[in-house]
Structure 1
Amino acid sequence: MIESTDRTVAGSLGELAVREWKPAEPAWIALIAHGYGEHSGRYEWVAERLAGARALVCAPDHIGHGRSPGDRVHFEDAEVLVSDLDVVRRELAAEHPDLPIVLIGHSMGGMLAARYAQHHPGKLSALVLSGPVLGTWHVLDLLEHDEIPDTPIDPATLSRDPQVGADYLADPLVWHGPFRRATLRAVDECLLAINEGPSLELPTLWIHGEDDELVPEADTRTGIDRVRGGDFHEHIYPGARHELFNETNRTEVVADVLNFVGRALNS
């Protein structure tokens, strides 16, 4: 088992808390962008598997999330979070200039990862989008209310493994409150920008759960169809819910990701 270490990185709005898993002889870098309301510590299992495949894994907590500063789950411009990912990427590239970098984004982090790839097409060797918020997202319908209803994420939508939902509810670093209006507006603006932006012209893997109720596959596909490039691959998992890296078939999912990365880095 490879234990994580902690570091901080100077983000746009404050010091970002970052977890890192480093094997003895890394061959590539996996930069993980986590989802809305959660934090990098929930990626321990997948990070250990990636590190076992010689990845130096780096996972920052977005501003307002986890151990990073800021009002909880509040941001007014998603581009700030995208810029923070670039700060982390630049530090990693300076420390390990010979290692290719793969950006792995989950859910809202998938949205940020797609936007990052649009902004910095030459900085990444590959992109992995896990249950990404792209295209349209039904949660944005909450903006129609004068007051945002207190409708936190249902833990049952995360995985077929009930322990995942139980751990999520018990995690003090996870946000369990209502969505923030400013954050939803920022997500909406980011989705529109992605839809109008360039295609993803780098090796890209999209993975999604067929039974994902939190971020339905059909909604994401409307965005994917706008930005897919020439080296695009997808895998939709029957019966799987939102958090594929915490699903009952997570070993299969990670194997598929590693196979894709291996092909992308050796092409």
Structure 2
Amino acid sequence: MPFFDGPRGRMHYRRWPAENHRAALVLLPGIGQHTGHYHRFATAVRSAGIEPWALDTAGHGLSEGDPAHPGTLAELVADALCLIELVRTALPDAPLLLMGHSLGAVTTLGLLGAAIPDTRSAADLSAVEANCPLTPSLEPTALAGLVLSGVPRRALGAGTPDAPGTPLPHTLPILAVHGREDRRAPIDAVRDWTTRHNWVSLIEYDDSGHDLLHEPHYRTVTTDICEWMLKVL
């Protein structure tokens, strides 16, 4: 089983090798999930000619740590960067796609300095600056595309007037997928966010909640994500 030594301990990841791959996908799961939950999705991605890699969040799956405390956003970003560097080393010529679900989506935006709460309602802006990376740890030009699934409101304040953080560039293709019945991350926040980022593609799913890739419509969601990734490539 593959591991790497991260800043906070031994981290586990999975790789689903794809022959004649045309790109690589780094997947960051949500809290309470691990890479073993994504074999079905990874098989579909690999069939599309994209090689998937995924990280067990600290304290989840086979990664060391406390499952109740996966880390600060800065720590989660640092863990994700370690996996991204492994992918770059193994597949140096492959375009890189990045996908995050829930907490993984927050981390994905955090890598780009864009996981910012809505500071119009923030009581203490210094707390925002202390807890949220405001500059990119990963340059957007390193990515061929970004997929966000079930992203929570707490990361969707970017683009509001005078918000801290780093704006996402219009040149970065972004897909957001979200269930209309999502109770953990209600859809109104991502709808508002996509109006401020009008180049983002938002696909909404009826009768679907937070965990789109493990719900009855998972085949449709998987197909939509794969088709979008192939299009941007």
% of aligned pairs identical?
A: 28
Matched, 1:115 2:83: no
Counterpart for residue 233 of structure 1: 201
Instruction: Name the CA distance, whole Å, in 2 between partners of 1:247 and 1:205.
Output: 19
- CA shift, 1:215, in A, is 1.3
Contact 1:108-1:132 at 8 Å conserved across structures: yes
Matched, 1:62 2:57: yes
Instruction: Name the CA distance, whole Å, in 2 between partners of 1:193 and 1:8.
Output: 33
Per the alignment, in what secondary structure is the counterpart of residue 132 of structure 1?
A: coil
Instruction: Name the CA distance, whole Å, in 1 between partners of 2:56 and 2:68.
Output: 11
Contact 1:110-1:129 at 8 Å conserved across structures: yes
Counterpart for residue 186 of structure 2: 216
What residue identity is the alignment partner of 1:43? Y
Superposed counterparts of 1:152-163, under 5 Å: none
| Consecutive unaligned residues in structure 2, runs of 5 or more | 114-135
Instruction: Name the CA distance, whole Å, in 1 between partners of 2:164 and 2:193.
Output: 10
What residue identity is the alignment partner of 1:128? V
Contact 2:28-2:99 at 8 Å conserved across structures: yes
Counterpart for residue 163 of structure 1: none
- CA shift, 1:24, in A, is 2.0
- CA shift, 1:199, in A, is 2.7
Instruction: Name the CA distance, whole Å, in 2 between partners of 1:19 and 1:204.
Output: 24
Select the residue among 44, 50, 72 that pairs with 1:49.
44
TM-score, length basis structure 2: 0.81
Per the alignment, in what secondary structure is the counterpart of residue 2 of structure 2?
A: strand
* Root mean square deviation, CA, Å: 2.0
Contact 1:100-1:125 at 8 Å conserved across structures: yes
Instruction: Name the CA distance, whole Å, in 2 between partners of 1:237 and 1:129.
Output: 14
Instruction: Name the CA distance, whole Å, in 2 between partners of 1:90 and 1:252.
Output: 31
Which has the bigger relative contact order, CA under 8 A and spacing at least 6? 1
Contact 1:65-1:73 at 8 Å conserved across structures: no
What residue identity is the alignment partner of 1:41? G
Instruction: Name the CA distance, whole Å, in 1 between partners of 2:27 and 2:217.
Output: 20
Instruction: Name the CA distance, whole Å, in 2 between partners of 1:259 and 1:231.
Output: 17
Instruction: Name the CA distance, whole Å, in 1 between partners of 2:82 and 2:98.
Output: 13
Per the alignment, in what secondary structure is the counterpart of residue 260 of structure 1?
A: helix
- CA shift, 1:212, in A, is 0.8
Counterpart for residue 128 of structure 1: 147
TM-score, length basis structure 1: 0.71
Per the alignment, in what secondary structure is the counterpart of residue 196 of structure 1?
A: coil
Matched, 1:246 2:214: yes
Counterpart for residue 204 of structure 1: 174
Instruction: Name the CA distance, whole Å, in 2 between partners of 1:191 and 1:244.
Output: 19
Per the alignment, in what secondary structure is the counterpart of residue 230 of structure 2?
A: helix
Larger helix proportion of the pair: 1
- CA shift, 1:61, in A, is 0.5
Instruction: Name the CA distance, whole Å, in 2 between partners of 1:81 and 1:215.
Output: 20
Counterpart for residue 260 of structure 1: 228
Per the alignment, in what secondary structure is the counterpart of residue 48 of structure 1?
A: helix
Matched, 1:85 2:80: yes
- CA shift, 1:23, in A, is 1.7
What residue identity is the alignment partner of 2:174? T
Aligned residues: 204
Instruction: Name the CA distance, whole Å, in 2 between partners of 1:193 and 1:239.
Output: 28
